[in-house]
Amino acid sequence: MKTSNNIPDKPEKDEFGLDFIRKIIVEDIRTNKNEGRVHTRFPPEPNGWMHIGHAMAIYLSYSVAQEYNGLFNLRFDDTDPSKESMDYVEAIKEDVQWLGAEWEDRLYFASDYFEKLYEFAVALIKAGKAFICDLSVEEIREQRGTLTEPGVNSPYRNRSAEENFDLFKRMREGEFEDGSKVLRAKIDMTSPNLLMRDPIMYRIKRVSHYRTGTEWIIYPSYDFTHGESDAIEGITHSLCSLEFETHRPLYDWFIDELLALGTLKHKPRQIEFSRLNVTYTITSKRRLLELVKGEYVSGWDDPRMPTIAGMRKRGFPASAIRTFLGRVGVTKREKNIDVGLLEACVRDELDKEANRVLAVLNPLRVVITNYPEDQVEHLEIPNHPKDESRGTRKVPFSRVLYIEQEDFMEDPPKKFYRLTPGREVRLRNAYFITCTDVKKDESGKILEVHCTYDPNTRGGSSPDGRKVKATIHWLSRDHALKAEIRLYDRLFNRKDPSGLPDYNSDSLKSITGYVEPSLKEAKPATHYQFERVGYFFTDPEEFTKKKLVINRTITLRDTWARIKKQLPQPKKKKQKKKK
């Protein structure tokens, strides 16, 4: 089995433990179909940003090729120049590589095949399988019929092969206006599958293509291009999401007709799997575009967006996304995966990967009254308590500290164990302190808390064995660094959001917080756990030594689950006992 440095192999399983796609592949290998080869591809259209659903398609096609010693292609199906650009191509390449999929030297474009596709179309015209239609797109749509009524044949359907070939050549030469003629396949206007009712193969569109410029003014349709490109590249298993299931008869029809004519030599097999739907998430480009245009987000790569670029900028590790996709698995059945599973995978990965640092987001000043005013200690603190090989760092400790406001209450409820008047708590990796006084302004707002410390508890333990019920984190006020902290949260409030009405206006809060001085030497795109606070990521674009911009990747725990438990729950109906 071939291995990858990026996407890990799945464990070996017997045939009965495989998902339905892998069972098909195992059987194809057993029967020596396609000479036992496995060759997959990811074929995005370069007209937008890739999202979590595309991540599943990338992961599946690449990992299948890896598991069965196969090949993987990246191909851009770029047949609509009005919506495509090289910027999208580069962004998609970055996304695919970041996820861990490697195409090696197999980067292709459907536009590479424009001349060959034109030849395929000519072959179908000469065989009487395609014709030039003068109806407008609207008229074609009207004559297509419905699910219960058959379509109507075009009045141009019976043109001779010679006339169709002549018109098609003249279309390519620019003799006709945009929209005045199209090339249609001659299939069956009574087919129960509307896509088989003489679909459009070519249209005239005088738009410059980002790769071919003005060389072409006729462009093939996606359905005519997709399968033929797979066949040209020798793809064995064309893995698509379930919405392409109705396209499969058309996919096969084009390839079968060209095989019969001898213009193609290979037939790929299209296999559909269910789309990846995730709760509290939308993957509709149209609805996400509303957020971008309405400036509800900063762009397609906003860290709240479900795009691969957005997740990367927020600090989601690629390995966590791959783990999530592997756990979700592949089925034919539509499913809505709880976003909590993705977040749990992120937490698990960052727990191993992220060094710990001290940070205070909402500071409250603490003065240790019995600590020398001019003294500064540098306490040795482990970088990762679960991994000694990460070493330690020195963090300054002084008389005036910052703690989190939520870690102190003057009049606490019963189960509040953190700092209160008269109570002793532990400062993480430092000392035991006891609150002795509270200073307030004229309005009653707490300005600072006065405490005493026990110098015999350095490191956070007492020689006499006494216990404290809480440990809180801290920073030396005079050494703390200011940072812009961006607190990202879920973009939508509802489990099954419909769009703007469910937008979470609290999905981003930008605050000024404080971090320990070691982060002065931090680099962009570095993960940290802010102890007791969450997992954070130095912004890959804006973090510098002069401007500390840090994104919250995820909280330490699933706060949404806790909030949900606090909400009123519907009462369960009592079951009537059977007599």
Which one-letter amino acid corresponds to residue 58?
Answer: I
**Measured CA distances, 161 to 124, 165, 183 (Å):** 9, 6, 12
Q: 170 catalytic, yes or no?
A: no
Distance CA 235, CA 43 (A): 11
Alpha-carbon torsion angle 23, 25, 31, 33, nearest 10: 150
Which residue in the list 275, 365, 458, 495 is annotated as catalytic?
275
Alpha-carbon torsion angle 344, 403, 393, 357, nearest 10: 20
Region of residue 299 (phi > 0: left; psi between -120 and 50: alpha; otherwise: beta): left
Q: 579 catalytic, yes or no?
A: no
Beta bridge partners of 285: none
Q: Residue with structure tokens 């020689």?
A: 463
Beta bridge partners of 131: 184
- Specify whether the CB–CB gap between 280 and 339 falls below 8 A: yes
* Phi, psi angle pair for 4, to nearest 5°: -125, 145
Q: Look up residue 523 and give its two tokens.
A: 């680099």
Distance CA 196, CA 181 (A): 19
CA-CA-CA-CA torsion sign (406, 409, 413, 414): positive
Which one-letter amino acid corresponds to residue 238?
Answer: S
- Specify whether the CB–CB gap between 78 and 46 falls below 8 A: yes
- Specify whether the CB–CB gap between 309 and 301 falls below 8 A: yes
Distance CA 458, CA 376 (A): 14
For residue 95, the surrounding DSSP H or E stretch is: helix 86-99
Q: 285 catalytic, yes or no?
A: yes
Distance CA 421, CA 433 (A): 11
Distance CA 346, CA 6 (A): 16
- Specify whether the CB–CB gap between 255 and 224 falls below 8 A: no
Which residue in the list 33, 37, 285, 428 is annotated as catalytic?
285
Buried b (16+ CB within 10 A) or exposed e, 418-442: bbbbebbbbbbbbbbbbbeeeeeee
* Phi, psi angle pair for 29, to nearest 5°: -70, -40
Which residue in the list 10, 45, 245, 290 is annotated as catalytic?
45
3-state SS, 166-226, equals: HHHHHHHHCCCCCCCCEEEECCCCCCCCHHHCCCEEEEECCCCECCCECCCCEEECHHHHH
Distance CA 179, CA 169 (A): 16
* Phi, psi angle pair for 426, to nearest 5°: -100, 135
Which one-letter amino acid corresponds to residue 260?
Answer: A
- Which residues are part of the catalytic machinery? 45, 275, 285
